[in-house]
């Protein structure tokens, strides 16, 4: 018996100690020899019900001095979820990362767990998660700071099926930081404390063993327990604890920044090459808003591995080095990216008086839409005097839908979506250059009046993201050097949060659920693909919009419009975005009782003075009563199922004249004006009378 073990045994002589044969000491609940360690080299066996639980988890990493965090993800293909067809999950892209998502979905499985009896913070009371004795906590390992979060059971499985514990942060974590998840004093529905799992008990209770596969992790758990003790957490109270590291900023953003910098350097201060394919002029009697539509293509450096960068393409890497950055196909290949620009009648009238005041806006379209969606923005363009241009958001455009359908049946194909999204960001950046540059669109007769004057103000360009375009728009704003002001309509972030709460989910579930019948694997699938989605959506960039600006970028002020009862992009996702980019909110934000939370908007400070010169969240409400052609707007559900009953307000903010005016003023002046006064922002004729609406079953 070794000296350290002998000293340990003397200190615990009441219980006895293991002998040289490694048998369990008398008085201990767990016999280490009984533990199945056959998968311990690639699974975290503290949660034997699911190989990758608890998740995210630094167990699935290795030390690597080449990364900014000092670690690199090391998923083993044997650990990854497989679909019903048995397709293997390619871990290559995940194993490029030096950490996990800054907006992670934390997962564990606890049989018989009752979150109400446990006292865990629900989505209706996230502030409870900051209490020192909160049963479910997430703690910054270096500072001890508790993170805002909520915990919920997965509501999607059928009765009798296993339900994963889902833990969500209400503000994104900081890149490169290590966090410790704490589950303590966990209880069942009878209020009885649930015993920790056998493997975790071995570490927590310092049960000695001679099992190498167990002992290799003991020192790490001892460090965790010591750190938690310093922050007021007793090891004896723990049901489970683990740690994970958030990816570094470089790991999240290096690919698109590299692509952007190469593309802009190649332009050498000029505009990208553009080809005009079709121009349609309309008079006010034919179209009251649009005077001219211009279709064409932009030549954009092609960083994809196919000549046309078509759906299903991947980024082109010069080597297998996990730190390799994308390179242009054939060293200098470009791809023709179709664009659409539409010019309102007001722009023609504005140019005729010799004073150009028309502003240029790039629009990001909705879920699996296209550039043609901008046609619906005619009233805004006409009233606000806005030229609007768009390209398809590759990766999540209409033409990508067949590939997305394949991904739903095999999530191992997800890198094709994430890679195309990054090319889409680049496409939008070059569209911006074509707009701002005097030798770009403005030099073409189709963007000029009859006297050769440009029909819009060059030198600046702003952004309008609609739904999906808003969920991706903060990412584009963070990497686009030319956006100073972005409007994100019905915005949010973190697709792993949004997708199964969306009213669109039943359509996707019809493909996804049969492919992944294991109810514990389903949320895990979205936690995994979020690690790659971060490279192209707000979740990976929200910390870098207004401050901590990325190299080569510029600070962007953001106006977020959200809607009470939005069934497609839920309000909670908008609030997470607002917290993460330090936006303030219009106050009063809502009518009394028109929010699911006990303390609405915790962590989002109210705007004290208008006009407001920073980022803002403005929430709009159609009200709970039958009005404006709808039966009433219910609040979002407090579970993680879609709200599919009652009025969906997803399109409501686009229809409100004062909301349109607020956006147009913001783009033109940079200031956010108060258009609602001392009231919450109301729409569709709602007068602010308090009340709630529960749709009939």
User: Does 99 score more than 60 pLDDT?
Assistant: yes
pLDDT tens digits for 546-565? 889 999 999 999 999 999 99
How high is the pLDDT of residue 25?
A: 55
* Mean local confidence (pLDDT), 221-231: 98
Can you list the positions of beta strands (E) in 171-318? 178-184, 238-245, 274-281, 290-301
Lowest-confidence pick of 96-100, 311-315, 353-357, 500-504: 353-357
Half-sphere exposure of 567 (CA within 13 A, CB side): 15
Inter-residue contact 342 to 292 (CB < 8 Å): yes
Lowest-confidence pick of 65-74, 354-363, 420-429, 482-491: 354-363
Inter-residue contact 602 to 633 (CB < 8 Å): no
Inter-residue contact 560 to 581 (CB < 8 Å): no
* Mean local confidence (pLDDT), 397-404: 97
pLDDT > 70: percent of the chain: 96
> Residue 125 and residue 170: Cα distance in Å, rounded?
11
pLDDT tens digits for 172-219? 999 999 999 999 999 999 999 999 999 999 999 999 999 999 999 999
pLDDT tens digits for 364-382? 999 999 999 999 999 999 9
> Residue 508 and residue 3: Cα distance in Å, rounded?
59
User: Does 14 score more than 60 pLDDT?
Assistant: no
Inter-residue contact 515 to 410 (CB < 8 Å): yes
Inter-residue contact 146 to 126 (CB < 8 Å): no
Lowest-confidence pick of 5-19, 27-41, 319-333: 5-19
* Mean local confidence (pLDDT), 669-677: 96
DSSP per residue over 108-124, as a string? E--TT--HHHHT---TT
Position 21 confidence tier, pLDDT thresholds 50, 70, 90: very low
How high is the pLDDT of residue 370?
A: 98
Inter-residue contact 144 to 231 (CB < 8 Å): yes
Inter-residue contact 666 to 485 (CB < 8 Å): yes
Inter-residue contact 239 to 458 (CB < 8 Å): no
How high is the pLDDT of residue 355?
A: 78
How high is the pLDDT of residue 390?
A: 98
How high is the pLDDT of residue 9?
A: 39
pLDDT tens digits for 316-340? 999 999 999 999 998 889 999 999 9
Gap between the terminal Cα atoms of the chain: 67
pTM: 0.94
> Residue 514 and residue 523: Cα distance in Å, rounded?
14
The alpha carbon torsion through 654, 657, 662, 664 (nearest 10 deg) reads 80
Q: Which CATH entry fits the domain spanning 31-247: 2.60.40.10, 2.30.110.10, 2.40.50.140, 2.60.40.1220?
A: 2.60.40.1220
Can you list the positions of beta strands (E) in 327-385? 334-344, 359-364
Q: Which bin fits 368, alpha (ψ -120 to 50), beta or left (φ > 0)?
A: left
Q: 15-34 burial by CB neighbour count: b if 16+ within 10 A, else e?
A: eebbeeeeebbeebebbbee
**H-type alpha helices, 317-400:** 345-352, 378-384
User: Does 75 score more than 90 pLDDT?
Assistant: yes
* Mean local confidence (pLDDT), 101-107: 98
Half-sphere exposure of 660 (CA within 13 A, CB side): 16
How high is the pLDDT of residue 695?
A: 77
User: Does 162 score more than 80 pLDDT?
Assistant: yes
Inter-residue contact 356 to 350 (CB < 8 Å): yes
Token output for 302:
């092609």
How high is the pLDDT of residue 15?
A: 32
DSSP per residue over 262-283, as a string? HHHHHHTTSPPPEEEEEEEE--
* Mean local confidence (pLDDT), 529-550: 96
Position 697 confidence tier, pLDDT thresholds 50, 70, 90: low
Lowest-confidence pick of 13-17, 70-74, 334-338: 13-17
Lowest-confidence pick of 188-202, 351-365, 592-606: 351-365
* Mean local confidence (pLDDT), 152-170: 97
Position 286 confidence tier, pLDDT thresholds 50, 70, 90: very high
Q: Could you tell me which residue, 6 or 104, shows the higher pLDDT? A: 104
Q: 300-334 burial by CB neighbour count: b if 16+ within 10 A, else e?
A: bbbbbeeeebebbbbbbbeeeebeebbbbbeeebb
Q: Look at strands 557-563 and 483-489 and give their pairing.
A: parallel
User: Does 110 score more than 70 pLDDT?
Assistant: yes
> Residue 438 and residue 145: Cα distance in Å, rounded?
49
> Residue 563 and residue 576: Cα distance in Å, rounded?
14
Token output for 331:
């060293």
Q: Look at strands 71-73 and 61-63 and give their pairing.
A: antiparallel
The alpha carbon torsion through 491, 495, 497, 503 (nearest 10 deg) reads 70
CB atoms within 10 A of CB 685: 10
- Average pLDDT, rounded, for the chain: 94
At residue 285, what are phi and psi to the nearest 5 degrees? -75, -25
Inter-residue contact 75 to 43 (CB < 8 Å): no
Inter-residue contact 171 to 148 (CB < 8 Å): yes
How high is the pLDDT of residue 17?
A: 43
Tokens 């023709």 correspond to 336
Instruction: Return the bridge partners of 193, or none.
Output: 187
User: Does 692 score more than 90 pLDDT?
Assistant: no
How high is the pLDDT of residue 26?
A: 61
Segments of the chain assigned to CATH 2.60.40.1220:
31-247
CB atoms within 10 A of CB 230: 9
Helix, strand, coil percentages in the chain from 3-state DSSP, rounded to 5: 30, 20, 50
* Mean local confidence (pLDDT), 296-304: 98
How high is the pLDDT of residue 678?
A: 94
> Residue 360 and residue 672: Cα distance in Å, rounded?
18
């Amino acid at each position: 018996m070794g000296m350290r073990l002998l000293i340990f045994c003397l200190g615990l002589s009441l219980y006895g100690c293991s002998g040289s044969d490694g048998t369990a000491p008398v008085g201990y609940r767990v016999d280490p020899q009984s533990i199945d360690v056959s998968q311990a080299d690639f699974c975290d066996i503290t949660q034997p019900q699911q190989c990758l639980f608890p998740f995210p988890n630094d167990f699935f990493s290795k030390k690597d001095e080449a990364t900014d965090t000092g670690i690199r993800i090391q998923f083993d293909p044997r650990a990854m979820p497989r679909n019903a067809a048995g397709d293997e999950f390619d871990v290559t892209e995940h194993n490029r990362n030096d950490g996990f998502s800054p907006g992670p979905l934390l997962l564990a499985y606890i049989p018989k767990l009752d979150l109400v009896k446990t006292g865990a913070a629900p989505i209706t009371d996230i502030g409870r998660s900051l209490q020192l004795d909160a049963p479910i906590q997430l703690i910054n390992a270096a500072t001890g700071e508790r993170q805002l979060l909520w915990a919920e059971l997965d509501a999607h499985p059928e009765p009798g099926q296993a339900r994963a514990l889902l833990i969500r942060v209400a503000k994104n974590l900081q890149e490169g930081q290590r966090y410790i998840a704490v589950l303590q004093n966990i209880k069942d529905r009878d209020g009885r404390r649930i015993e920790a799992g056998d493997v975790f008990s071995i570490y927590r209770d310092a049960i000695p063993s001679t099992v190498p596969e167990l002992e290799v992790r003991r020192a790490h758990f001892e460090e965790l327990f010591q750190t938690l003790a310093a922050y007021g957490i007793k090891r004896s109270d723990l049901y489970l604890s683990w740690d994970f590291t958030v990816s570094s900023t470089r790991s999240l953003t290096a690919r698109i920044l590299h692509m952007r910098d190469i593309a802009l350097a190649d332009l050498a201060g000029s505009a990208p090459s553009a080809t005009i394919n079709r121009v349609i002029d309309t008079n006010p009697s034919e179209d009251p808003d649009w005077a001219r539509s211009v279709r064409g293509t932009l030549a954009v450096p092609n960083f994809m591995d196919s000549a046309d960068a078509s759906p299903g393409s991947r980024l082109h890497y010069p080597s297998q080095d996990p730190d390799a950055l994308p390179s242009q196909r054939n060293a200098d290949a470009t791809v023709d990216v179709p664009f659409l620009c539409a010019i309102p009648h007001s722009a023609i009238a504005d140019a005729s008086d010799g004073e150009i005041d028309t502003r240029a806006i790039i629009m990001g379209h909705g879920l699996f839409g296209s550039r043609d969606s901008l046609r619906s923005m005619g009233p805004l363009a006409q009233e606000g005097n806005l030229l609007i241009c768009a390209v398809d958001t590759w990766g999540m455009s209409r033409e990508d839908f067949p590939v997305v359908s394949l991904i739903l049946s095999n999530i191992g194909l997800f890198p094709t979506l994430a890679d195309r999204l990054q090319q889409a960001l680049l496409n939008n950046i070059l569209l911006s250059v074509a707009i701002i540059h005097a030798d770009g669109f403005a030099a073409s007769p189709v963007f000029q009046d009859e006297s050769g004057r440009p029909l819009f103000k060059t030198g600046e360009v702003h952004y309008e993201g609609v739904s999906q375009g808003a969920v991706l728009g903060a990412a584009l704003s963070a990497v686009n050097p030319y956006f100073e002001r972005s409007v994100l309509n019905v915005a949010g972030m973190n697709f792993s949060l949004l997708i199964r709460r969306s009213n669109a989910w039943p359509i996707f579930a019809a493909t996804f659920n049969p492919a992944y019948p294991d109810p514990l694997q389903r949320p895990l699938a979205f936690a995994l693909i979020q690690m790659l989605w971060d490279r192209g959506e707000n979740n990976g960039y929200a910390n870098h919009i207004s401050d901590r600006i990325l190299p080569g970028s510029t600070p962007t002020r953001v106006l977020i419009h959200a809607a009470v009862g939005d069934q497609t992009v839920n309000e909670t996702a908008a609030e997470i975005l607002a917290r993460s980019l330090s936006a303030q909110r219009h106050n009063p934000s809502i009518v009394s009782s028109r929010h699911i939370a006990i303390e609405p908007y915790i962590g989002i400070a109210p705007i004290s003075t208008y006009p407001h010169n920073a980022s803002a969240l403005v929430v709009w409400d159609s009200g709970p009563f039958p009005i404006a052609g709808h039966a009433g707007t219910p609040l979002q559900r407090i579970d993680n199922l879609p709200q599919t009953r009652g009025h969906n307000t997803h399109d409501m903010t686009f229809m409100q004249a004062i909301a349109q005016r607020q956006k147009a003023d913001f783009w033109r002046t940079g200031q956010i004006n108060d258009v609602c006064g001392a009231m919450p922002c109301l729409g569709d004729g709602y007068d602010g009378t308090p009340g709630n609406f529960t749709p009939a079953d």
